[in-house]
Structure 1
Amino acid sequence: MTKTILYCRVSTTEQTIDHQEEQARAAGFQIDDVLADDGVSGITTRLRDRSEGRRLFDMLRSGDVLVVRWVDRLGRDYQDVTDTIREFMRRGVIVRTVINGLTFDGATKDPMQQAVRDALIAFMAATAQAQAEATKEAQRAGVAYAKANEPHKYLGRKPSFNREQFNRVRSLLDMGTNTISSVAKETGLSRQTVYRIKHDPYAAEAILVEWGM
């Protein structure tokens, strides 16, 4: 009997495992099992080297479906992601993404379809690595900015917000339709904290990085 397995990876800057599962089920996937690695970097740790990633390789059989929010959950390294997807396809595993609803299936024998599929895998893997590198550069820039311009804040006490709250505040503010008060209410933060994040997101990001959050 074939299975549909959802694999989630959560680093300190990403969504929660529950959120990724909710997204998959909302997209119509009938999930049989959920495997998740929490607090694991997709840049420095290959899928095979993660505890639940290893289980994934052991569990998946021909005909099974592997669901991920996007290919960056498998990894942020170009070579690792492309090798992983191709290995699963050689095994007869179908890889599907929640975002964009893409399907990678090794069953096709048509050379043109294979070429298009492989090019798309390569493009998405390269995009995942590029996004990771851009994020790291933005974090480094935020740290440098805070050190140079607001060292008293940078070296201050532990922030009153966590990474998930910070990301949620940024997301709500970017919509342009939410007030400071409404964002504070939804995130459980004070209006002053929300205002500080809005006024200087780079400094807020730098504080989180310094505290390893």
Structure 2
Amino acid sequence: MEERPEGKRLYDILRAGDVLVVRRIDQLGRNYDDVKEAVQEFMRRGVIVRTIINNMTFDSSTKDPMQMAIRDALIGFMAAAAQSRAEVTKPAQIAGIAHARRLVGDKRYKGRKPSFSEGQLTHVLTLLEQKAGVSTIAKVTGLGRQSIYRIIDDPAGARASLIEWGICSPTIA
């Protein structure tokens, strides 16, 4: 979680005594180890983690070894359930995308709809040539940092996505 920009930001913002509310515990990582380590790191920092779906609270306030063992077992169980759910969902997602790609016309799968316009893409690329930082580009263009990172990673793919969605003309280079 710490290696993702928003995850790092979360670690930077939260302090001892803060409460982190998540819908489900699996939002804190991509697999068992990520989720377990994230919850334990937040508890080490004195952050309280609360889940909405099953109304659980994880904190480091207890010093009783039995309660700590139960808490840690629950974290492990929930992290394992999250990974299991992700592993079951992935093949269904892949099959759904494959099916959608076989469709024709307007029902054909086009990928994720871009969150930026042709003008914003051009502006981002211009600012990148001028060596502007991601934060500056985000402020100037009104785009999120993640959108800018996607453009940086694949500018041609970003333009192709705009064309695929009919947001920009294929004749404009």
TM-score, shorter chain, exceeding 0.5: yes
Identity rate, percent: 59
Q: Partner amino acid for 1:68?
A: V
Structure 2 CA distance for aligned equivalents of residues 70 and 142 of structure 1 = 24
> Which residue, out of 12, 37, 46, partners 1:83?
37
> Which residue, out of 134, 140, 154, partners 2:102?
154
More off after superposition, 47-56 vs 65-74:
47-56
Q: Name the residue aligned to 2:59.
A: 105
* TM-superposition CA deviations, 1:96-115 (whole Å, max 9, x none): 01111100011111011001
Q: Partner amino acid for 2:8?
A: R
C-alpha root-mean-square deviation of aligned residues, in Å? 2.7
* TM-superposition CA deviations, 1:87-139 (whole Å, max 9, x none): 11011110001111100011111011001100000011111111111011223
Name the structure where strand makes up a greater proportion of residues. 1
Structure 1 CA distance for aligned equivalents of residues 3 and 95 of structure 2 = 30
Structure 2 CA distance for aligned equivalents of residues 62 and 139 of structure 1 = 38
Mapping 1:197-212, distance limit 5 Å: none
Question: Which runs of 5 or more structure 1 residues have no equivalent in the other structure?
Answer: 1-46, 164-210
Structure 2 CA distance for aligned equivalents of residues 131 and 100 of structure 1 = 15
Dislocated runs of 4+, deviation >2 Å = 139-144, 157-163
Q: Partner amino acid for 1:53?
A: G
Q: Partner amino acid for 2:86?
A: A
Structure number with higher relative contact order (C-alpha < 8 Å, ≥ 6 residues apart): 1
Higher-Rg structure is 2
Aligned residues: 112
The alpha-carbon deviation at position 143 of structure 1 amounts to: 5.8
TM-score (norm 2): 0.57
Q: Does residue 81 of structure 2 align to residue 117 of structure 1?
A: no
Mapping 1:1-213, distance limit 5 Å: 47-142=1-96, 146=99, 154-159=102-107
Q: Partner amino acid for 1:82?
A: K
Q: Is the 8 A contact 2:29 2:38 kept in 1?
A: no
Q: Partner amino acid for 2:9?
A: R
TM-score (norm 1): 0.47
1:136/1:109 Cα in 2 relative to 1: closer, same or farther (>3 Å)? same
